[in-house]
Amino acid sequence: MRSTGITAATATPGGDWRTRGACQREPDRLFVTGAAQRAAKLICVPCPVRTQCLAEALDRRIEFGVWGGMTERERRSLLLRRPEVHNWTELLEQAARDHEGGC
């Protein structure tokens, strides 16, 4: 099982998206290092909870592994580029709603 360090106490209210992740059966494949992360993040492409997963990693400043289709390096870079964002969950959910409304 993927070692997220996430417990029921930290689960998102309104449902646990973690049970719907595409990595459910092979979570350890997301915790590789270096160039292997580029291949590993392909697992996330069809994942139905990619937005929630990425938001969790960004909001909690999770440093290790692939989350939401982004490598450690990509998330670090994003956090450095957007220091004004304090709630990634809110931002990404709004972006998803805007995207859905625009189609």
Footprint of ligand SF4 on this chain (CB under 6 A)? Answer: 21-23, 30, 43-44, 47, 49-50, 53, 66-69
CA diameter of the chain: 37
Taking the chain, what is the end-to-end CA distance rounded to the nearest angstrom? Answer: 37
Kindly state the smallest distance separating residue 5's Cβ from ligand SF4, in Å: 14
Cα(76)–Cα(95) distance, rounded to whole angstroms?
Answer: 20
Residue 66 · residue 39 · CB < 8 Å: no
Q: Which residue, 58 or 66, has its beta carbon nearer to ligand SF4?
A: 66
Kindly state the smallest distance separating residue 47's Cβ from ligand SF4, in Å: 3
Kindly state the smallest distance separating residue 66's Cβ from ligand SF4, in Å: 6
